[in-house]
Structure 1
């Protein structure tokens, strides 16, 4: 009985420590990845600004090629939106809307994940001597839930590799000789 009591008190103490530590963890999480691609900024910008072109480079489209897509609003730019529907557990269902589009400079989006909240993503484009530097940033608020805050600590390691794959896919698309006419 003493052993069970010690185990119970140890678990209770560990839970209390984890709860107290969670109060000091950030609720806002940011994931950032960048790449330089050998293509004009206008070509790179168009691949991100025109949502139907995402099928060529988005890392999540490669995870589930059977994903269903629907588009709303304009073809690209502010208020363009697409919805995705997938049975794959790593993709799920959701939507992405372009909130702001500043030609060849920046695109701001809102991603809504069914049952998992939302996040903001930003794409910045910078002309460099080597081509175009694109920076993909995601910001999300994990709230005050202690489990959410601990999950937020792992988000960079979970989403960052997807961003890296997406940027590599984007590089492959825009560095092809025919990229300017797609």
Structure 2
């Protein structure tokens, strides 16, 4: 009896490992919203980490989160670090590319609850008097993450948060 249980467990592990090995080596999650405001107005909320508490859903994960800012005040070279509860975790963001009113690229390093280095990117495209804003996050998928992604998708983990953040960014940008 124990022999059959062991065989089933070993087979299950082998199947999981084979499926994980077949997963992509990288991931990408993105959401887009149309905002009835000029790109410059929307860009101002994205390039300044001091304004993120007004719209980023991740800022609400821990009301006691510790934040620090360094580098440039905003735009290229601006750095934002945080440390919070288990939901918020800890990490650091740095704006590594900033093209006025059209693109912000951020190096995103998570330290807790797990270590990961990804890229977040915001693109702003003028469209018929409005701005189409895309928030994307992408990065490598190490083998352990491939196993996790068999059971939990990155899109499922952060896609709704991106939608919430973009909806709030839309509301803020369309005011006055």
Q: TM-score, normalised by structure 1?
A: 0.90
Partner in structure 2 of residue 172 of structure 1: 171
* 1:118-140 CA distance string (max 9 Å, x none): 11011000011251110011012
Partners of 1:82 and 1:74 in 2: CA distance: 10
| 1:39–1:132 CA contact under 8 A, matched in 2 | yes
Partner in structure 1 of residue 49 of structure 2: 51
Aligned residues: 172
Deviation above 2 Å: which 4+ runs of structure 1? 150-153
Partners of 1:111 and 1:165 in 2: CA distance: 19
Partner in structure 2 of residue 11 of structure 1: 9
Partners of 2:15 and 2:68 in 1: CA distance: 46
| 1:86–1:93 CA contact under 8 A, matched in 2 | yes
| 2:38–2:129 CA contact under 8 A, matched in 1 | no
- 2:41 match: secondary structure: helix
Q: TM-score, normalised by structure 2?
A: 0.93
| 1:27–1:152 CA contact under 8 A, matched in 2 | no
- 2:64 match: secondary structure: coil
Partner in structure 2 of residue 113 of structure 1: 110
Deviation for aligned residue 1:151: 2.3
Matches within 5 A, 1:124-135: 124-129=123-128, 131-135=130-134
- 2:73 match: secondary structure: coil
Q: Report the aligned-residue RMSD.
A: 1.3
Q: Which has the larger radius of gyration?
A: 1
Gaps of 5+ in 2: none
Partners of 1:91 and 1:67 in 2: CA distance: 8
* 1:38-80 CA distance string (max 9 Å, x none): 1111000111011111111011112223212111011111110
- 1:139 match: secondary structure: strand
* 1:3-45 CA distance string (max 9 Å, x none): 2211110111111121122221112011011101111110001
Deviation for aligned residue 1:171: 1.1
Gaps of 5+ in 1: 178-182
- 1:5 match: secondary structure: helix
Matches within 5 A, 1:36-75: 36-75=34-73
- 1:9 match: secondary structure: helix
Tell me whether 1:158 sits opposite 2:137 in the alignment. no
Partners of 2:44 and 2:123 in 1: CA distance: 12
Partner in structure 1 of residue 75 of structure 2: 77
